[in-house]
Structure 1
Amino acid sequence: EATASVDNETEELIQQATDILLRERTSIVIAHRLATIKSADQILVMDKGEIKERGTHDQLIEQDGLYRRLIKLQFTELVV
């Protein structure tokens, strides 16, 4: 993952560049840092090789599922 070992400012710059490069294109992005995919048109949440959830960031946040739990974990770690 391109943003795995960079500071927050560099991660934001990489994300902005990626958004420009992917605009108007179909792309598959595999991400562990969920901030990387928040603006995706469609997010597939996989667990043990199976698609468990599908939707936009906002749709998945509204559900009390795996994506929401992962978001809470990642962003809680950033705050602590």
Structure 2
Amino acid sequence: MGFSDVQVAENAIYAVFHGRSFKEIVKSAQAGVDLPDDGQFIYVFNLKGDPICKYVLDDYIYGIFVDEKKYYCCCRCE
């Protein structure tokens, strides 16, 4: 809950997090409040699920593409 995209790579798990529960999304929609679907955080976990780090972005994103061999993560913002 709260994640909009998860990518499992060879060495880690990368997840875009928006931090809203399903209840909060439904309640906001019923009240006519338009919440962004995107997240502003990327969490990185090892393959056992233990947290490694958290990136705070200056814009909202929905999905990611990860290439660990070149050590970059591409995000598309709209």
TM-score w.r.t. the length of structure 2 is 0.29
TM-score w.r.t. the length of structure 1 is 0.28
Q: Normalized per residue, which structure has more helix?
A: 1
Q: Which has the higher contact order (CA 8 A, sep 6+)?
A: 2
* Structure showing greater Rg: 2
